[in-house]
Structure formats: structure tokens, C-alpha cells
């Protein structure tokens, strides 16, 4: 039998996961598909093209609850890159700013290819529990 969590507790879980400490959102360049055994060290963080991690602030998470589940969403994050040799970015991951532990990760549907000056990656961090 599958585990069932009530809608109110879904919201509480998201609050516990996302509103205790800030997170760093990072892009990764290794061809890796996250799974339930992933840790922060599973990902190779991007280091070129003028990239820098971004900090996600706990108070910027908006958590909503509906009959079908709960969703947490943060502000849209945009990276604008400098021109360097081509690189593939496979996804992003969030780590806790204090512990460094992986919060969650998401692989893009297809690799984002960065090659030109002013290429961008735009992400709106979002988690849904149904």
C-alpha cells in the first residue's frame, strides 16, 4: 500500500524542507540523472562561462495548498553567460547553505547548450507534492 500524506501535512513538509535555512541553487554539467541516493557530491557544478551559484532565500518560497496537493515555488533565477567553449548543462540542484546537504535536484528534459555570449538559463524552483 502506498503512503498517503494529508494536504495540510504536505504543506508542513514543504515548510520544513525549504524554510529552515536558505539554499544555494547550482547548475550541474555531468550527464547524471538524480535519484533517491543522490547527494551534493553526485553533481559536477558548473565553473565556467562566468557562472556563479545563487542563493535562494527562505522567505521567497511561496507554498500553496489545493485539493490535489501542495506546491512550493521560489523566484525565477536567471544566469547569463560569457562566451567560452561549448558546455552542456544537464540540470540544477539545491543544497542547504548551512549543512551543504542536497535538498533536491532536477534534470532538464534535454541538455542546455551554452556556447554564445549572453546565452541564458532561466529556472523557477518549484516542488509539488501530490
Rounded to whole angstroms, what are the CA distances from 27 to 24, 40, 69? 10, 12, 27
Burial of 14 (0-12, 13-18, 19+ CB in 10 A): buried
| Nearest-angstrom CA–CA distance, 68 and 28 | 31
Expressed as residue numbers, the domain containing 60 is 7-129
The pair phi, psi for residue 68, each rounded to 5°, is -95, -5
Note whether residue 93 is domain-resident: yes
Note whether residue 53 is domain-resident: yes
Average pLDDT over the chain reads 94
Sheet holding 69-73, edge to edge: 62-66, 69-73, 126-129
Note whether residue 54 is domain-resident: yes
Note whether residue 116 is domain-resident: yes
- Per-residue pLDDT of 74-120, as tens digits, reads 999 999 999 889 999 999 999 999 999 999 999 999 999 999 999 99
Look at residue 59 and tell me whether its pLDDT is greater than 90. yes
Note whether residue 27 is domain-resident: yes
* pLDDT band at residue 1 using 50, 70 and 90 as cut-offs: low
Average of per-residue pLDDT across 63-67: 88
Number of domains in the chain: 1
Whole-model pTM: value is: 0.91
Note whether residue 56 is domain-resident: yes
- Residue 18, sorted as left (phi over 0), alpha (psi -120 to 50) or beta, turns out to be alpha
Note whether residue 2 is domain-resident: no
| Nearest-angstrom CA–CA distance, 103 and 2 | 23
Rounded to whole angstroms, what are the CA distances from 70 to 2, 19, 53, 64, 73? 18, 15, 27, 6, 10
Look at residue 5 and tell me whether its pLDDT is greater than 80. no
Amino acid at each position: 500500500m502506498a503512503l498517503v500524506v494529508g494536504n495540510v501535512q504536505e504543506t508542513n513538509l514543504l515548510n520544513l524542507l525549504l524554510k529552515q535555512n536558505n539554499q544555494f541553487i547550482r547548475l550541474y554539467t555531468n550527464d547524471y540523472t538524480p535519484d533517491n541516493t543522490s547527494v551534493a557530491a553526485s553533481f559536477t557544478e558548473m565553473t565556467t562561462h562566468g557562472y556563479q551559484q545563487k542563493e535562494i532565500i527562505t522567505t521567497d518560497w511561496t507554498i500553496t495548498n489545493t485539493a490535489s496537493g501542495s506546491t512550493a515555488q521560489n523566484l525565477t533565477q536567471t544566469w547569463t553567460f560569457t562566451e567560452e567553449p561549448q558546455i552542456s548543462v544537464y540540470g540544477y540542484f539545491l543544497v542547504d547553505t548551512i549543512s551543504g546537504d542536497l535538498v533536491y535536484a532536477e534534470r532538464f528534459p534535454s541538455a542546455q547548450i551554452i556556447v554564445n555570449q549572453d546565452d541564458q538559463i532561466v529556472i523557477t524552483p518549484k516542488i509539488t507534492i501530490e
